[in-house]
Structure 1
């Protein structure tokens, strides 16, 4: 085939069309169908394979297309209720924008359950039809944009598995409205649509009868292995890991251990597996409710087996004392007359369920009486508001911790579909203001009583029910749980909900155990629709059938928020997901919502914004914020002081309570707490922070400056080379170069001469100038490490070596900082100078790009070139306060092409502009969304290339400036791209 100029073909065709989309599409077609190396200015509309693998979730792309289209049509054979639930908030937002949609589906193989069609009828601005054709098995999604269409077609039906979990193949293509592929697809769809039957309630009623008669003919029965006993319960991977850690605890001679495990993750089975492994002669299982004991006894029998007579209850109604496995209520066993019936060493294994209650006198009496070989405490909520320290009681031996996101990803819990909804707004602004004061706890008791009337008014409850009815629940019967702010509010809401046709009952901490049990039974049996409560369902109450959780309250604690959200996460037959509906008002603590949903303890405003904006999936759990709700959370994030000393002190005390000593920086990582870099940098170094916390840390002024260097420069772990060398020098003050080289090789680190020279400049402080901040003076002026070229060895500063030997405080903080930095370094690729999608400051970039000195931010501006690299820094959303001369309109043309501007007063012939073109320098692109909150961190997006012939000289305020297009070697990942550009 003869060679020809693709770009000439492109330009020729574009000249015939005055349309940006045409330009983009031609370039994308050339790149996608003819030669991927074609030099083009945009490939956003090119063909893509979506397969649910890294960075290509079909669900995410469909969500994006929906939110940006003018109209849409789905032609899909199979639809499931969970996926409709995920799409409901999007369809609702689209309806409010006037965007219409169509869904063409079928009754093929009777896969679609009647509830699916009932839920489809709820969708606003969506017309649904049933294809009148045998064997309808289409799987296509069509989105109409301005002048062109996007089509996603392939193997994926409108189901959670197909769009989020399975390894599918779906091809995304784009075509102008006049394109032949559009005509082929549209003609086919329109033909089927015109012959299809409209969805109505009457049609659903007829289908329900047919479904009942035919579903069993077509539903595939799962194949079972008849050689395997299905009654045998086996541990999942997380339970195996926990059992291993418990075994190690006992091997080390520890007599007590804690398991912290999110609600619904199988704590009882885990305890049974460990008892089976420990093989005690006699075991005691303690709980505070007989109902829990009966379920636990059955679970232990399933795991351990043996004779049922070996399993007995010791409660107010039963006295099975002489069995091998005793399941006892604390209330009964704690009485002296019952305790005295047992020998103090009768049990060699005691397991305490919901161990956070152990501070009560009844529990203490039992624990003080018995002396088993091993105590195991299990809880989902070890952090208590009282002063009792559960961790201390169990000798700070936390064997294992299963956190919520990991449990969701491992499919241990029921997935949740979270929707942040804007709360009801009254027409009277004064009422709204009083409600805000009530929610933020800044209102008098007298006015609070009036606010309760507003919150339980006919109008607001009607609004709440409109939302709960639309978003629905999984299963045949509603089992709802509502959290509100006060007892009187709960009572009033329950009455109004009942009046409007949703039987509800209120529960509070003042209610008796018998009343609680009765109300729970009423909910489980479908007698009532909702339990309205304040705080008693944070933990310990097990109602697996809950399929809708509603938040009508301010959130003051992410721990409490997760506890309450977790009430619906236990798996239950017929429940495929739990609907979480969060009515978001003008709460000062709204920022807690995104932090809690992702279990993010970084105390980073940037991370909270990312979650709110990106709405990430966790396993197959989804997050969506309606527009107004999202704005309220952003407002809360702006006003919040994440790293205030008050917040940091609270976090510090929590970890100190867990470890029973002055916490190390490593402890904050171990317990998934705050990023230790925040603590260390709050007061320049962690020693200063500890002194602020009232600890007595004794270090000299020079030692303080050395720790400042270590904490400010290296603790982040963005390059592990310096940390590895300091770790070696901690044990021997002189280290040969070949030994350091060996360690670098073992850790897969880059070890070229440029990197080694950079490491030496950083550690001898010549990288830091005397004038810039930070300066050598800030770090003690003396080199931390020197290089002896004659003997080819590194030498640790003797003053530091002496401090390590003689000062316990300094040695502890020095070693802890190095170990913590090395742990954090696991986030970064050691064989690359930068890791894509990770954050770096300009100072980080200067160090890691092997620059000779730490060039200040003022001298860097939008880009900086050293001998090898061109480092480009883009703030996507420019501040309105900066000079107009530098408000360049840098913008993405696609997820891999950036339209970029040079510094002001530059021409095509300028030397620094020429550096972009000549190919001598490797261009590295760093980007941040904005300068909000003095944000200094840029995402590294990867290497990029100048696109040939794209540079143009322009005028800005009468001064020359150069624009050009840069093409990234790797596309920006979906979530990050939309976060940066939204």
Structure 2
């Protein structure tokens, strides 16, 4: 407790008296606002999840704000942690529904104050050592926690602090006077609320904000949204270059149909053809076109089935009908000036080829939300590789084109002691107990508004039918739909859902695309994630905005599925397949933009971590599929830079970790490449293994300079300093030893073979072998490609310092970046004191197979203190320990802390900053779990930088059984 008190005193001195104090200060006071880099919700959830009790006093609560806390509250309930919430009926802002949602949460006690003008906003989270308090302007609403410009002060206090005691005293006074929230109270409030015509006022407000405007003739005028404005300008510019084809890639629900109608209005064609794969899409599209473009009804026609309105100015045709030769030849090749292909990712099929090869429009527009295909079809080539405009899920959410959503990754049912998996028998999927488990989650995580309109995706037709019957027995109104149902049956079911005659439509894959039900406010996923494309398609079914929907609830039942690693890929849109990036996305709280949130129950999150660890993302099949997608998109063999810069491409490091170099990968997939000499092969291997990650950019800068001319050592060193890079004599020596291969082990020297540089009279030049190898033009471009990618990768690191906080490094990286003369990875073990440094490597959760004598109990006591154990068979009198303690005390020995959660993460460790030894904590003790009880020395290391709460949670959660 004394350490906490001292750190708080230092923190408050820095926060309120002198920001330049050099005292160690943990738990600092912070002003928190909402912006792209931070928000109020994230630190609030950190405090909530680690607390032992909490008090919240807010005037206003919305369903979205409460949804942001539900998963954390669920986990607290499992730990037996309870809390209190005081709210109000001030201005009748709080909807009756939000009070109903509060009653569903078993571990909170809720009271309502009628205090006149109550407008307080305060949050206190207590734990055993201190309390964290948020005071400011944020109510418990999703916009206040993540979007609005708010001022909130985060303060940490001991229990005897005046401010915290005052807050708790005021809270308790309010609590004693307030009314307990009950179902009877809600019924009474609901009648008062409805009498005030509150819903009518909301609808009026929504209509005032609507992009739709009606003139006297009842023709709808639509104001373009951000995507449509930008895309229209891009299409105009594309045509100005002489292009007659273009592809629009735009997230589901962003308004592609209206965009095409806007562009038709802009292009002013005489005749238009709109092609889709389903007739109901045509009917809806024709309605949208007529509402925007106006004109007599005879200008619009359908060409499908029994309707063949051949002379219509705006013709809407199904691909199945029009692609038949008899129908195709009924039109002149130049009949249409403008053709639109809806769902253009389907256009690789032969039916589309026949149409595209026949017609000769002045402009051809393709539209798709998911251009990726499971085969290698070259969709982009059909549109001359002209991507006119692209907006994916993240940007669409930022622009508020789509409905915000709250995603809940929940744990699926446990059957015979095992959570549902890929191999679970069908019987386990439809057990009454699983249905009850599903029902419980549907009720807890709920939906926006008073009435659920849900889509439920399941694995197969049989499962859909059984779940329909089982849920109906529980009082739900559901209907299963499969490919066996007719279009008419599907349309009627959709109408029943929209008309509140059904709660859920249960389907397999037939609603993945081409279905428009804007009022859907809940999407339930009861099947494994087979692909990120399908995941996004199904998520997209609920992302269209609707005046009665504040947000979409997504409930994803996560079992022991091998493809769980695709969930962060789908939610973030990051298809780099970099496992560390996937983990970082899961660790962080800002995976998604805007007021949307991503929430995982603890066990469900662990299943995703496990799936990431075992996923074969670098399988030849996966690499080949992504490679050909990017190649088709670009229209040429992609370079490493192309892969690095394309949001849909795999991170080139994934390829280079599996292959010696990119040319070797191209050879493997049988792409035409030049034959490399042995020297060229070895140099490319060195660059691809040792340089390309960009962890220290100065090696790259030196090689780039040497490709032009030799350089003087002093001149190069000075330029690097002037450019702001970390550079001293030891660093320069380390760089030179690396490029001469002197740094490396004998095994690696043999592997790389060729030194890249010569040094003579302080002049650095390329080695003769390296320079001679560059005579091949293609080979030289490969070298440049690697160096450019290294530079791109270097932006991930703070190059002013040798190491970047919270980035990952292997032992060899650390030897190099701390300027050790040699790679001493093989003898480093858990730590090694050398060259005036002490790097410590910790695997937080040891394997069950590890020997007890080396199973150290290293552990973070909190985000500031690391309890660390030396090697076994060490005492306080051991020379090794005495040297460490003496060097720390007399020479301020730099201690570098590197931690990974478990061995599944590979060779990389997160660099968590430096640490100081708490000398009073140094203690000689015994190793637990060993027969001989080996001696070991234990001490507390005080972190210079407090451990990020996200990483702390990541390390601590690793013990969950999955």
| TM-score normalised by structure 2 residue count | 0.86
CA drift at 1:190 = 1.8
- Which moved further from structure 2: 48-57 or 518-527? 48-57
| Separation in 1, partners of 2:290, 2:527 | 41
Partner of 2:405: 416
CA drift at 1:933 = 2.1
Could you list the per-position Cα deviations for residues 119-155 of structure 1 after superposition, in whole angstroms to 9, with x for gaps in the alignment? Answer: 1121213222110211111111233333754332221
CA drift at 1:374 = 3.6
| Separation in 2, partners of 1:626, 1:442 | 21
| Separation in 2, partners of 1:243, 1:218 | 35
Q: 2:751 aligns with which of 778, 792, 795?
A: 778
| Separation in 2, partners of 1:779, 1:107 | 72
- Whether the 8 Å CA contact 1:951–1:965 is kept in 2: the answer is no
Q: 1:672 aligns with which of 648, 653, 658?
A: 648
Q: Give 1:245-284 correspondences, 5 Å limit.
A: 246=235, 250=239, 253-272=242-261, 283-284=272-273
Q: 1:533 aligns with which of 497, 507, 512?
A: 507
Could you list the per-position Cα deviations for residues 20-64 of structure 1 after superposition, in whole angstroms to 9, with x for gaps in the alignment? Answer: 7667666666666666677877734x5443333577533223323
| Separation in 2, partners of 1:876, 1:593 | 25
- In structure 2, relative to structure 1, the CA distance for the partners of 1:934 and 1:106 (3 Å cut) is closer
| Separation in 2, partners of 1:914, 1:343 | 91
CA drift at 1:737 = 8.6
- Whether the 8 Å CA contact 1:953–1:960 is kept in 2: the answer is no
CA drift at 1:607 = 4.5
Q: 2:105 aligns with which of 115, 123, 126?
A: 123
Residues 1:375 and 2:344 are matched in the alignment: no
- Whether the 8 Å CA contact 1:480–1:530 is kept in 2: the answer is yes
- Whether the 8 Å CA contact 1:550–1:580 is kept in 2: the answer is yes
Residues 1:769 and 2:752 are matched in the alignment: no
Report the secondary structure of 1:568's partner residue: coil
Report the secondary structure of 2:553's partner residue: strand
Partner of 2:151: 169
Partner of 2:812: 843
Residues 1:515 and 2:486 are matched in the alignment: no
CA drift at 1:157 = 0.7
Report the secondary structure of 2:452's partner residue: coil
Residues 1:187 and 2:169 are matched in the alignment: yes
| Separation in 1, partners of 2:242, 2:723 | 33
- Which moved further from structure 2: 574-583 or 262-271? 262-271
CA drift at 1:799 = 4.3
- Whether the 8 Å CA contact 1:457–1:496 is kept in 2: the answer is no
Could you list the per-position Cα deviations for residues 356-403 of structure 1 after superposition, in whole angstroms to 9, with x for gaps in the alignment? Answer: 222344422221111234422111222333564423433444444433
- Whether the 8 Å CA contact 2:136–2:151 is kept in 1: the answer is yes
CA drift at 1:552 = 1.5
Residues 1:351 and 2:340 are matched in the alignment: yes
- Whether the 8 Å CA contact 2:376–2:625 is kept in 1: the answer is no
Q: 1:685 aligns with which of 658, 661, 682?
A: 661
Report the secondary structure of 2:650's partner residue: coil
Residues 1:113 and 2:95 are matched in the alignment: yes
| Separation in 2, partners of 1:28, 1:734 | 51
- State how many pairs are aligned: 935
| Separation in 1, partners of 2:243, 2:54 | 62
- Whether the 8 Å CA contact 2:46–2:949 is kept in 1: the answer is no
CA drift at 1:159 = 0.6
Residues 1:916 and 2:888 are matched in the alignment: yes
- In structure 2, relative to structure 1, the CA distance for the partners of 1:946 and 1:276 (3 Å cut) is farther
- Whether the 8 Å CA contact 1:477–1:526 is kept in 2: the answer is yes
Partner of 1:315: 303
Residues 1:390 and 2:367 are matched in the alignment: no
Partner of 2:526: 552
- Whether the 8 Å CA contact 2:900–2:908 is kept in 1: the answer is no
CA drift at 1:109 = 0.9
Residues 1:597 and 2:579 are matched in the alignment: no
Partner of 1:806: 776
Partner of 2:677: 700
> Which blocks of at least 5 consecutive residues in structure 2 are unaligned?
215-219, 927-933, 958-962
- In structure 2, relative to structure 1, the CA distance for the partners of 1:86 and 1:751 (3 Å cut) is same
Q: 1:974 aligns with which of 949, 956, 960?
A: 949
Report the secondary structure of 1:207's partner residue: helix
Q: Give 1:125-274 correspondences, 5 Å limit.
A: 125-146=107-128, 148-214=130-196, 246=235, 250=239, 253-272=242-261
Partner of 2:930: none
| Separation in 1, partners of 2:573, 2:618 | 17
Q: 2:61 aligns with which of 58, 66, 79?
A: 79
Partner of 2:695: 718
| Separation in 2, partners of 1:834, 1:234 | 50
Partner of 1:49: 31
- Which moved further from structure 2: 503-512 or 746-755? 746-755
Could you list the per-position Cα deviations for residues 573-606 of structure 1 after superposition, in whole angstroms to 9, with x for gaps in the alignment? Answer: 2212211112233333333334433334343444
Q: Give 1:545-624 correspondences, 5 Å limit.
A: 545-612=519-586, 614=588, 616-619=590-593, 620-624=595-599
- Whether the 8 Å CA contact 2:640–2:785 is kept in 1: the answer is yes
Report the secondary structure of 1:827's partner residue: coil
- In structure 2, relative to structure 1, the CA distance for the partners of 1:333 and 1:734 (3 Å cut) is farther
- In structure 2, relative to structure 1, the CA distance for the partners of 1:880 and 1:956 (3 Å cut) is farther
| Separation in 1, partners of 2:721, 2:362 | 46
CA drift at 1:208 = 2.0
CA drift at 1:545 = 1.6
CA drift at 1:406 = 3.6
Partner of 1:5: none
| Separation in 2, partners of 1:846, 1:795 | 25
| Separation in 1, partners of 2:423, 2:245 | 41
- Which moved further from structure 2: 179-188 or 136-145? 179-188
Could you list the per-position Cα deviations for residues 173-217 of structure 1 after superposition, in whole angstroms to 9, with x for gaps in the alignment? Answer: 344444443432222222222221222222222222322344659
CA drift at 1:160 = 0.7
CA drift at 1:325 = 5.5
Could you list the per-position Cα deviations for residues 926-971 of structure 1 after superposition, in whole angstroms to 9, with x for gaps in the alignment? Answer: 42233422622122334x4647x74654325576858464442x54
Partner of 1:471: 445
Partner of 2:49: 67
| Separation in 2, partners of 1:248, 1:805 | 41
Report the secondary structure of 2:562's partner residue: coil
- In structure 2, relative to structure 1, the CA distance for the partners of 1:833 and 1:264 (3 Å cut) is farther
Residues 1:501 and 2:492 are matched in the alignment: no
| Separation in 2, partners of 1:274, 1:727 | 47
- In structure 2, relative to structure 1, the CA distance for the partners of 1:646 and 1:510 (3 Å cut) is same
| Separation in 1, partners of 2:206, 2:546 | 19
> Which blocks of at least 5 consecutive residues in structure 1 are unaligned?
1-13
- In structure 2, relative to structure 1, the CA distance for the partners of 1:367 and 1:155 (3 Å cut) is same
Report the secondary structure of 2:564's partner residue: coil
- Whether the 8 Å CA contact 1:879–1:930 is kept in 2: the answer is no
Could you list the per-position Cα deviations for residues 397-455 of structure 1 after superposition, in whole angstroms to 9, with x for gaps in the alignment? Answer: 444443333433443322222222222335xx3xx77x95xx52586xxxx5xx2xx53
| Separation in 2, partners of 1:744, 1:257 | 45
| Separation in 2, partners of 1:728, 1:320 | 68
Could you list the per-position Cα deviations for residues 544-595 of structure 1 after superposition, in whole angstroms to 9, with x for gaps in the alignment? Answer: 2211111222222222222222222222222122111122333333333344
Residues 1:927 and 2:909 are matched in the alignment: no
- Whether the 8 Å CA contact 2:58–2:88 is kept in 1: the answer is yes
Q: 2:797 aligns with which of 797, 808, 828?
A: 828
